Amino acid sequence: MKKNPLLQSNHLPCFDLVKAVHIKPAVKQVLRDCKKRLRTLLKQPYPDFNNFIIPYMHIVDDISYVWGVVEHLNAVKNTPAIRKAYTRIQSRYINFMVKLKQNRHFYRIFSDIKKKFTLEPVQQKVIDDALLQFKLSGTALGKKRKSKFRRCQKQLSAWQNKFQNNVLDAVKNYTLTVNDPEPLKELPEHVLKAAHHLAVNNAKAGPGSRVWQFTLDIPSFLPFMKFCTDPALREKLYRAYVTRAASGKIDNTEIISKILKVRQQQAELLGFANYAVFSLQDKMAADPDRVNAFLDELFNKSAARAWQDAGELNDFKQKTGGKGPVKAWDLLFYREKLRLEKYAINEKVLRQYFSLDQVLSGLFDIIEKLFGHTLKKSRAAVWHQDVLFYVLYNDNQEESGYIYFDLYSRPDKRSGAWMDVCRSRRFRGKKIFLPAAYLNCNFTAPAADQPVLLTFNEVVTLFHEMGHVLNHVLTRIDYPAVSGLEGIPWDGIELASQLLENWAYEKEVLDKFAFHYQTREPLPPELVKGLKAGKTFFSGYDMLRQLLFSKIDMDLHYIHKGKADESPAEFIKKIRDKMEVIPSPPENRFENSFLHIFSGGYAAGYYSYKWAEVLAADAFSLFKQNGLWDRKTGKRFLDLLLSKGGSEDYYQMFIDFRGRPPDREALLRQYGIIK
């Protein structure tokens, strides 16, 4: 019998061999093997860091590696067979991991090693993080309460998976068919081609017909909302978008209530008043009141600017012949036209200067100049023919990591953009396993007759996700529990990604890669200037929008807590009514597709985007001061933050880099809200 390809982990995953049928037996096998190894480990007569904690880390890392590949396939290749296999084995994996973290024997031995031995700081961090996770998993609970905690975790994982599947299905099942070309005349040509191709594929049109189909996938939805001239059509697509997974058989409404209720139960089992307090135990913010004070501070300083933005857009709509105030489905349309008037930024023109190959080249150039690492395309087994694979080399031309780029939208792929861990850096005996990461986006797939062209927002997205990747693959820490992204508090995890975004706006950077894909002419100076100025365009509105999401997330877990006397939708509407400057329609149910908090890792942690953005704005101000290409500053950021992963206190690591605590007003200055 051939070995299961999911268990062939000597180098990188055998994606070309993995099928749905391999998932269940592979997960069962790795759990069985690791259970035996853990039992043997507990027999160690004189446990110390080297003979006990390092083997423990390797066992956990072996489980995480196999499960991580399975989770990744479930996100990027969500076929019915893979979805079914994933769902069937998920509870077994969850049960194993929670039981492991509830094991008092391991908790006691970790505690004893901490007390008995003088440890290096990074070893101390490994133990401290592990002890905290033991506690947050209920290791101190009695037998019955431990069992209840495990049931809660299994229920939570199942509902979170169902939530994500419902969003995926809701997007997959909806199309808007348009037969009249007139309202589509301003849409970019590549969007129209894709929409017509979809109509042909769905047998709604022949190759020469004039029929287009649009979807709720971002590469289709956003251009339609920006450029379709018919407000009735915009309203129709908008309402479908904000009611995803909110009706009929595909409805996340009850799942949200169940998730909130079970999270509250978990928190109470551990002695916490609510899930927000529980969630913040391993974050820098420490308690919900500090988070809300931070959000309120930003809101109070940004609200006037947001109302000014809304007023300007309403005036612009009236001036250009529109009737009535700006509606939610008007927002992107008039915003795009106002941006064009103020900064001469035409997205359709701009896109011609950002071919994917050039953008990647420019991005890789930044990485080389700042951090001394180069990326070279290579070959590896992949899960789809469009996936790119690169090897990262250090300044001695030694391999130091691997990156998979899965950049295009597909029907069986999760929406949005995200980075995930394929493998953490570690030593096993004398052999080093280098880190590997996935970078996932949902750009429009390439057409046969031209290169892939990106919108500027997509360029920024690519830079953002690459920041996450660098945070993982540039690590120099060999303990997998604190290597790369592991061990970094969630409210610091966005620092590197939001920092790297800033280079996409700078003229001396754009001059290196923004060339017209046909003429090779550089991006005209007026467009460069417009992009830079446009960074603060509608910044008050954008600030409040992110604060709204953060506030909803925090207060759902801090105040609402899944209580039965008020639905989450009713609770959320009260917050929206206070914070929205352009009102959403009452039937807006965006929470039903809020993947970050109901199926991702951001529950009671969405504020992390704004806090990490403060850190990123403050860090970038040092690069601006010393020079965008200043290798000394880049090396300092690499040595003091990127390379250390989660091996030290993250807040102190930032202070060491910046030379002082973070300046909160750096973000407001970057947004142009204060000077």
Q: State how far the Cα of 426 lies from the Cα of 438, in Å rounded to an integer.
A: 18
Cα–chain center distance at 397: 30
- Measured between its terminal Cα atoms, the distance across the chain in Å is 68
Q: State how far the Cα of 149 lies from the Cα of 139, in Å rounded to an integer.
A: 10
Retrieve residue 588's tokens.
Answer: 């807006």
- Whether 335 and 538 have beta carbons less than 8 Å apart is answered as yes
Residues near 82 by beta carbon (within 8 Å), at least 6 away in sequence: 20, 23, 73, 74
Task: Classify residue 4 by its DSSP letter.
Answer: P
Task: Classify residue 434 by its DSSP letter.
Answer: -
Amino acid at 667: L
Among 150, 124, 13, 123, CA closest to 72? 13
In the set 336, 458, 465, 501, the catalytic residue is 465
SS (H, E, C) 19-60: CHHHHHHHHHHHHHHHHHHHHHHHCCCCCCHHHHHHHHHHHH
Retrieve residue 255's tokens.
Answer: 């799942």
Q: State how far the Cα of 292 lies from the Cα of 204, in Å rounded to an integer.
A: 50
Rounded to 5 degrees, what angle do the CA atoms 150, 153, 159 make? 145
Retrieve residue 674's tokens.
Answer: 């204060």
Q: State how far the Cα of 160 lies from the Cα of 117, in Å rounded to an integer.
A: 41
Bridge partners (DSSP) of residue 405 are 388, 439
Task: Classify residue 2 by its DSSP letter.
Answer: P
- Whether 266 and 153 have beta carbons less than 8 Å apart is answered as yes
Whether 465 is catalytic is yes
Among 368, 351, 328, CA closest to 458? 351
Burial class (CB in 10 A: 0-12, 13-18, 19+), 365: middle
Active centre residues (catalytic): 465
